[in-house]
Amino acid sequence: MTNKSLPNKKNSSELIQLSLPTKITGIVFWGMMFVGLLVAVYLLQSREDHLVREYENGAIMFSHEIESVLEKERSKLNIKKALNAVFEKSRQSYDIQAFEFRYGDKLYALGMRAADQETITSPIHYQSAVSTYVKTELVVFFPNLQHATSTLRKKMVLTIGFLSFLFGLVIQQILQKVLTKPFLNMVMVAEQFADGNNQVRFDEQRNDEFGYMAKFVNRALDSTLLKQYELENSRKALFDEKERAEVTLHSIIDGVITTSADARIKFMNPVAERLTGWSSNHSRDVLLSNVVKIINEDTGQQMPNPITRCLEENTVEHQNNHVSLIRHDGATVPIEVSAAPMRDDSGAVLGAVMVLHDVSSSRILAKQLSYQASHDALTGLYNRRMFEERLEALLLNVQKEDRHHVLCYIDLNKFKIVNDTCGHMAGDELLRQVATFLHDCIREGDSLSRLGGDEFGVLLENCQLAQASQIADKILQKFREYRFFWKNRAFEIGASIGVVNINSENVDMGSVLSTADLACYAAKGMGHNRVHIYEPTDAILAERHGHMHWVTRIMDAIEQNRFVLYQQPEVPISSEIDIKHIEILIRMKDEDGVLVKPDRFIPAAERYHLMPKIDRWVINNVFESMANNRINDNKNQIVSINLSGLTLDDEDLLGYILSTRDRHGINLKEVCFEITETAAIGNLAKATQFMNELKKEGCQFALDDFGSGLSSFVYLKNMPVDYIKIDGAFVVNIVTDPIDRAMVEAITSLGRVMQIKIIAERVENEQTLDILREIGVDFVQGYHIGRPTVIAAFK
């Protein structure tokens, strides 16, 4: 409907204001006129009848009076005069204009006669001369009845018209007040309400029908406004909900598609458009099966659309595993899909909603996590976990079938040299290159793994020991030919390989791994770049197996407190130094109470990571002995305690030292920890942080076996050490070997520049002592100076 069909509001209002009172007045006026006309007709008719009766009565009365005159004047014979008197009198009373009658033989007539006069004849009786009564006719002339009626009609019409007009005006004012104004007021209120003024109301104060009606209309208006308010709130809420729903559907990361009950698409959010390759406009009212095509990503077979079953069975459907969506352009997208029915208030199914969740990232992530869980991040080879799983599978295989497999355990030589001299980036690149050519040396189907650090493992499936030996030799030959280049430097990298046969007699994974480790360790002990094949009668491995037995003995010694502490002096040879040092050494008592030297149990303790326990035992007992003055009661003395490289890896070592100090109440200014050069360099960041934290507490540090590494001078400036302890290999032959002397002199000069004290160990004779004094070392240690002696508390 257009605006053309609606009247102008102003014109409509004026039309109502002008026409309604006029109509009401017109109706009243013409009604009154009609009534007046009827009354006039009735009155005129009555008046005419009344005139006729008046004329007749007048004629009768006039005839009686004439009879009286005739009776009185009969003897006087003056009748005419008497008639004239009666006539004059009757003209005023009865509106008689003329009359005539015969009295005897004489005609008496008085008055003016006209042709249009009304005549009424009345009988007259009089007594004659002979005393008899005579009857004659009296003709009385009255004014014309039609003329009298016309005049009366005019007067009456004018009178009635005037009265009707006055009455109409009065009625108009009355109607204007009691009907028109209230009605117009209601119209104006209704118009204002229609124009949007919701505050206006009809007048309820009137005590008439308008007031009564106004109450109901106002109540209806209030109810309408309330419904309108509720409807508006519902509309706003619905609009807000629609906006939120649209914003939500447009902002969520899942594709959402709604369909009708016959599975035709009604809505697609932008994500669904992107996933399917269809636009919302082009897909509207298209069957969902033509837009959403789902396949099994493993087999490629098309799968039933979940919307179909959802609508048929009125249930929620899910497809989560191995499902892909075929886009409009033919590409596939890994998804998870679900469908749920949409119902109305009565529970009838209106359609369904499908949610498409793009799992491309999660599938890729899952593959990446699976790959990372089974592969080494640096080299891309299998990691130790995957290696052990495949080894376990081979062990199960040899139990069920008569098959032979071989495990090769490879440990790189000189890898630490590359790491120390060129940095970890070089070491990482070396491992990647080694992984590449190792992979080229094995057969297809064999498993190559990085077991950790510079150790690799190879599982040769369905391989005899002789063939495995050839593969191991091929790997060694590859190492001999290989050169690692880094920033204009070349390195020869070797390897030690331990080979173990896997058969039905060797099905314990722990045993296989430890045997392969020992075989590799044996190859390394034979001079590196060797292959050692394990045999049950292997004497070398039997010796290595002996190390494993030390593990139990060491653990028992720790639990039973069967270690003994010794001390050996480090004597100053400079007159400027008045402080003395002692180094704490350890021995172990076996089950029979016989002392065992460190060189017998320390290698096993280091290999099987027991040194942190031993070092903690030493720290606790040394601190306790210091607190009880059991260690050479000399306050101007430093007690040196050795820490292994494995102990430096202990994250809780610093806390343990500080808590042990607090428990025994000793001063760390009297303690010096000795750390080997190789251990410090191998854990440079941790070692430096550890030293700095304890130096804040007053503790001192010595770098032991200095000069044994290739990068001593490079790293020395980065470590906060107080003492350098020259490797005894340079000191023991200093008298006869000028190179050793030059090394000691160089280290001493460096220490003097860096203001670090120098300690020379393995001083075995007076000549060596004299040379060291001449060179200018600060402290000396060795059998010539003083042999280790047991601490009193451990005798």
Measured between alpha carbons, how far is 106 from 77 in angstroms, rounded to an integer?
Answer: 12
CA torsion sign, 741 to 744 to 747 to 751? Answer: negative
On the question of pLDDT at 538 being above 70, the answer is no
Two structure tokens written together for 793: 């508390």
Two structure tokens written together for 214: 């106004």
For residue 520, list its beta bridge partners. Answer: none
Give the helix ranges, DSSP H, for 537-652. 539-559, 598-607, 611-627, 645-648
Percent of the chain with pLDDT over 90: 19
Report phi then psi at 252, rounded to 5. -70, 155
Type of residue at 625: S
Q: Mean pLDDT across the stretch 672-683?
A: 78
Measured between alpha carbons, how far is 97 from 235 in angstroms, rounded to an integer?
Answer: 95
CB 64 within 8 A of CB 122: no
Give the helix ranges, DSSP H, for 457-591. 465-481, 509-525, 539-559
Phi/psi region, residue 453 (left: phi>0; alpha: psi -120 to 50; beta: rest), is: left
pLDDT digits (tens, 9 = 90+) for 423-446: 889 889 999 999 999 988 888 888
CA dihedral 515, 520, 525, 528 (to 10 degrees): 170
CB 405 within 8 A of CB 394: yes
CB 409 within 8 A of CB 497: yes
CB 638 within 8 A of CB 579: yes
Report phi then psi at 140, rounded to 5. -110, 130
On the question of pLDDT at 181 being above 80, the answer is no
Confidence of residue 5 (pLDDT cuts 50, 70, 90): very low
On the question of pLDDT at 646 being above 90, the answer is no
pLDDT digits (tens, 9 = 90+) for 98-156: 888 877 777 878 888 877 777 888 888 777 665 667 778 888 888 877 777 777 777 77
Contacts with 592 (C-beta within 8 Å, 6 or more apart), sequence order: none
Measured between alpha carbons, how far is 682 from 417 in angstroms, rounded to an integer?
Answer: 10
pLDDT digits (tens, 9 = 90+) for 330-387: 888 888 888 888 887 777 888 888 888 888 777 777 777 778 888 888 888 999 899 9
pLDDT at 125: 77
pLDDT at 709: 55
Report phi then psi at 439, rounded to 5. -65, -30
Please compute Rg for the chain using Cα positions. Answer: 69
Measured between alpha carbons, how far is 298 from 275 in angstroms, rounded to an integer?
Answer: 20
Measure Cα distances from 73 to 69, 70, 301, 654 in Å: 6, 5, 154, 180
Type of residue at 725: K
CA dihedral 586, 590, 595, 599 (to 10 degrees): -60
pLDDT digits (tens, 9 = 90+) for 195-225: 777 777 777 777 777 777 778 777 877 788 7
Measure Cα distances from 275 to 266, 298, 359 in Å: 17, 20, 11
Q: Mean pLDDT across the stretch 57-70?
A: 79
Report phi then psi at 616, rounded to 5. -65, -40
pLDDT digits (tens, 9 = 90+) for 227-272: 877 887 877 777 777 666 666 666 677 888 888 888 888 888 888 8
